[in-house]
Amino acid sequence: MRMKKEIIFIFYIFINIEFIKGKDFFEFANEYQNELCSYNGIPTYDPKTNQVLCECDEKHVNEPRIEFRTYINGHLVQCSYEKKRRFFAFFLAAIFPIGLDFLYLGHIYLFLLSLLLFLTVLIVNIIQIILSYKNNNKKDESINRGKYKINIRNTTTILKRINMFGINIIFLIYYLSHIIIQGLGFIKDSNNIETENDMVYLFSKPED
């Protein structure tokens, strides 16, 4: 009989401790709920998991990088990661065709590839202009090498056609497709987070 009372007493103490824990956390959650959501979301308390869950706004998500996550008294701070702006990335892609939008989104290697492509096209065009200038001043000049006779005028014409219908066309297709894909938000940032869809604000009517 005495053993039964002790078991009941221990069970009673355990229930009260768990109740106090839940109550303390509930009071803590109410006091710090906005801070737990980084003031960027709507907090709700889940009694089943004894946690605060945040519904983040359109501009924020939970921090995807574990090493950058922060905690308050052991509880995860949510909605602390700010999304990259889609319109700004689109603006960079449209105005600066050297891959600055990739740099903004954190894709360093894609930025370097885009920069290399742009410099290649630029150098080829500069060479074409120089050769065309020389060709206009020396139309009849030719170079003899053994049995072969190379005409500068013909060489310039060939390079011009390759450049016009080759590299420049390829770069133009890349440029147009790039800004369209960026504007549609298909390119995520380096942490695999979608960009903020702020493009809709350009076409939406202001509220009265």
CB–CB of 121/168 below 8 Å? yes
Q: What is the per-residue pLDDT for 205?
A: 57
For residue 136, what are the CA distances in angstroms to 28, 153, 198?
82, 8, 51
pLDDT class for 11, splitting at 50, 70, 90? very low
Tokens standing for residue 1: 């009989």
Percent of the chain with pLDDT over 70: 66
CB–CB of 90/199 below 8 Å? yes
pLDDT class for 25, splitting at 50, 70, 90? low
Is the pLDDT confidence value at 173 over 70?
A: yes
- Note the pTM of the prediction, 2 decimals: 0.71
Q: What is the per-residue pLDDT for 198?
A: 86
What element of type H or E holds 143? strand 142-145
pLDDT class for 156, splitting at 50, 70, 90? low
